[in-house]
Structure 1
Amino acid sequence: MIHRSKAPLRIGLAGGGTDVSPYCDEFGGAILNATISLNANATIELLESDQIVLEAFDRNETATFSWDPTLPIDGHLDLLKGVYNRIQKDYPFEKRGFKLSTFVDAPAGSGLGTSSTLVVAIVGAFTEMLQLPLGEYDIAHYAYEIERTDLKLAGGRQDQYAATFGGVNFMEFYSGDKVIVNPLRIRQRYLDELENNLLLYYTSTSRESAKIIEEQSKNVTEKKQTSIEAMHQLKQQAQMMKEALLKGQLHEIGHILDIGFEQKRKMAQGINNQLIDDIYYAAKEAGATGGKISGAGGGGFMIFYCPGNTKYKVQQTLDQFGGVNRNYQFTKHGLKTWSV
């Protein structure tokens, strides 16, 4: 028997960073994101032996263990091990060997929520295998706890919920781990135009988001008003983005993204650097009306709103920076699981 799952990566359109504690616990956070046709995939194959085999095909990493209910967290395939350890703790299953294989369609540290989406996919595969009674909110929160509590990885909350629910969502974050996912009913023609005009560009660099997020959290704890006010503005940006999409006011999207780009750099050091600035202002010179860094910042993917047919000139302009334009489509589905 083979148990499979896949969960979509996401583009954060507005409000990024307001889902991170302690800001969202004290002030409440808001984010607007959309899932895209890039996925994290997980497969569990039952084995006749009692070995546990872990494979991350996209990272060319593999490890084999004798059966044990707890695998060592040592910096090697920790996301895979972390999910297995938590599942065995909460839903222990019989001694049976298996192979857990994963593949993610974007590099780690690229800003599309790869790590959290992978955790969701792995949780989904085990949920399918064990037929666990977990709903969408349960799976998203479970994945969040594994990353943030068990593995002690710094980060926000949006990625787990985006990967589980899928689609275009306006998300609210409050203290006590309270999350409200509001699916947006956007007219298809508005989504088609947004997809046509929104350029997804990989800078061919990655970053360690944890350090940026830790500084961001520290700035809130230490009451640094510049950082906190920037997060207030980004939360307002999410509201503006929601209204523009629902009303079809797509001509405002670039300006709303531009507001976020200027505010986000105030949240923490390392979010922007010279390469990102050079890429951003070159894209605007070529016709983009705004854009943003995807994820925590520092590298990875960027998005640009290119009205009319300007995206072709923007693409040509960005070739000089050595990055890659990535094709995608918006998706309506979240986590999917099945067995064969």
Structure 2
Amino acid sequence: MTTGKDIRKIRARAPLRLGLAGGGTDLSPYCEQFGGAILNVTVGRYAFASILPRDDGRVVFEADDIGEQDVFEEGSPINEGLMLHRAVYKRLIDQFNDGVRIPLTIRTTVDAPAGSGLGSSSALVVALVDGMREVLGAPLGQYDVAHLAWEIERVDVGLSGGRQDQYAAAFGGVNFIEFLANDRVIVNPLRISEAISRELESSIVICFSGRSRQSAAIIDRQTSGLRTASTATLDAMHQLKADAIAMKQALTVGNIDVMADILGRSWKAKQATASGVSTDTIDRLFETAHANGALAGKVSGAGGGGFAFFFVHPEHRFRLIEALNAAGGQASPVQFTPHGSEVWRFR
């Protein structure tokens, strides 16, 4: 059992991700019935967690990027405040420290707002789980960290969503991930050449369209369509799954034009899974993008706002970024990262 008396400063970070294809097929009950498939890549934006020892008996949660802090005195119940911090702390303490509290400050930041569509909330949970794993010496591998993060976020807290974000954040890199019945997940890292990786990275522009306030409602509508066996929703999900497989094949040979065709088809299928996936703002940005060199685009995540990303030939990337920014977006290049969640100690 850990008491916290000899804990050093612990840092953890987990990367955010772009869902290239298959997003939505990791939702229940689709993945249990048909098997889901997703192609994603982690990018150089992170959820950070610092876990610092305390000597006053308090447990303190701080989210610096949103300006929130919760302070719990020794012996007082931890039952309010920052729900993700609280849920991870309580779950890990109960499961791996016999429920004995450790006085800590857990301070976090995320390089994208909630509802960004980059899996920021799930990356935060992964970073928190991995950091607390280090504090407690819990015997958790990458699959364990990802599954526990999913269970905390989706079951303990009850937030709507799929499974890809936690596994992308835990493993990192370019992955083709299969989601099967009985919570079985297979992460297949793709070995692509450095030239293909650099060309793909240089062919993507991301653009923030505004914070999504609809993603949970969209996911709930998608899930409802799946549970009622809506033909439109099921057909769209089957198309998204097929697109993930086709996108993987195009990526392995570096055919960006084919990837763009698949992305455009997937965007249409994604919009058919539920209402509200696109918005007037997103539609305007897409019109601007297509008029300035974009081959295709898609909203990352559930939709309703957040980040969109576009494929573009690298020689036209600067023009596309300038046009999107002039149209009110927040556009930029993207950098891939091969690493998943990382933890280190520091005195």
TM range (shorter): over 0.9
Alignment partner of 1:91 is 2:86: no
User: What is the TM-score with the length of structure 2 in the denominator?
Assistant: 0.95
CA gap of 1:153–1:312, structure 2 versus 1, over 3 A, is: same
Task: Report the alpha carbon displacement of residue 248 of structure 1 after superposing the two structures with TM.
Answer: 1.4
- CA displacement, residues 205-239 of structure 1 (integer Å, 9 cap, x when unaligned): 32342111111000011111011100100101101
Query: How far is 1:308 from its partner?
Result: 4.1
- 1:239 aligned to which of 235, 245, 251: 245
The code of the aligned residue for 1:92 comes to N
Structure 2 residue 150 is the aligned partner of structure 1 residue 139: no
Deviation string for 1:224-266 (max 9, x for gaps)?
1011100100101101110011011122121111001111000
How many Å separate the matches in 2 of 1:154 and 1:7?
Answer: 20
Aligned partners of 2:87 and 2:41: how far apart in 1?
27
The equivalent of 2:44 in structure 1 is: 37
Task: Give the distance between the partners of 1:88 and 1:64, measured in 2 at CA.
Answer: 17
Structure 1 residues 79 and 184, CA gap change in structure 2 (3 angstroms)? same
Measure, in 2, the Cα distance between the counterparts of 1:70 and 1:157: 30
Give a deviation string over 1:151-186, Cα, whole Å, max 9, x none: 111100000000000000000011111110000001
What is the deviation of 1:32?
Answer: 0.2
Aligned residues: 338
Percent of matched pairs sharing the same residue: 45
CA contact (8 A) 2:204 2:333 kept: no
- For residues 55 and 250 of structure 2, the distance between their equivalents in structure 1, rounded to whole angstroms, comes to 55
Tell me whether 1:152 sits opposite 2:181 in the alignment.
no
Residue equivalent to 1:183: 189
1:7 aligns with 2:14: yes
Q: Is the counterpart of residue 113 in structure 1 residue 153 in structure 2?
A: no
Unaligned 5+ segments in structure 1 are none
Following the alignment from structure 2 to structure 1, what is the Cα–Cα distance between the partners of residues 226 and 113?
29
State how far apart, in whole Å, the 2-side matches of 1:143 and 1:21 are. Answer: 17
CA deviation after TM superposition for structure 1 residue 68, in Å: 4.6
Q: Greater shift after overlay, 90-99 or 179-188?
A: 90-99
Report the alpha carbon displacement of residue 4 of structure 1 after superposing the two structures with TM.
Answer: 1.0
Deviation at 1:124, TM superposition (A): 0.7
Gap runs ≥5 in structure 2? 1-7
Amino acid of the structure 1 residue aligned with 2:93: Q
Consecutive aligned runs of 4 or more in structure 1 exceeding 6 Å deviation: none
The answer to which of 303-312 and 6-15 deviates more is 303-312
Q: Which residue of 2 aligns with 1:166?
A: 172
Tell me if 1:223 matches 2:229. yes
User: What amino acid maps onto 2:37 in structure 1?
Assistant: A
Q: Is the 8 A contact 2:288 2:327 kept in 1?
A: no
* Aligned residue identity for 1:13: L
> Would the aligned equivalents of 1:69 and 1:88 in 2 still touch at CA under 8 Å?
no
Matched AA of 2:24: G
Map 1:260-279 to 2 at 5 A: 260-279=266-285
One-letter code aligned to 1:9: L
What residue identity is the alignment partner of 1:201? C
Amino acid at match of 1:312: F
The answer as to whether partners of 2:202 and 2:333 remain within 8 angstroms in 1 is: no
Q: 1:297 maps to which residue?
A: 303
Partner of 1:62: 69
Larger mean CA deviation between 12-21 and 274-283 belongs to 274-283
Contact conserved, 1:6 with 1:337, CA < 8 A, in 2? yes
RMSD value, Cα = 1.3
CA distance in 2, matches of 1:277, 1:269: 14
Match of 1:78 in 2: 83
Compute the displacement of 1:71 (Å).
1.7
1:49 touches 1:96 (CA, 8 Å); kept in 2?
A: no
Q: Which residue pairs with 1:50 in the alignment?
A: 57
- Deviating more after overlay: 277-286 vs 203-212: 203-212
Counterpart residue type for residue 138 of structure 1: D
Answer with 190-199 or 308-317: which moved more.
308-317
TM-score (norm: length of structure 1): 0.96
TM superposition shift of 1:70: 5.5
* Alignment partners' CA distance in 2, 1:331 and 1:312: 22
After the TM superposition, which of the residue ranges 305-314 and 179-188 deviates more from structure 2?
Answer: 305-314
**How many Å separate the matches in 2 of 1:125 and 1:249?**
39
2:177·2:188 contact (CA, 8 Å) conserved in 1? Answer: yes
The separation in 2 between residues aligned to 1:178 and 1:210, in whole angstroms, is: 24
User: Which is further off, 61-70 or 131-140?
Assistant: 61-70
Say which SS state the counterpart of residue 116 (structure 1) adopts: helix
Counterpart residue type for residue 148 of structure 1 = R
Cα pair distance change 1:95/1:145, threshold 3 Å:
closer
1:19 to 13, 26, 29: 26
Deviations 1:273-318 (A, max 9, x none): 1211121122112111101100000000000001141222222221
Letter in 2 for 1:87: L
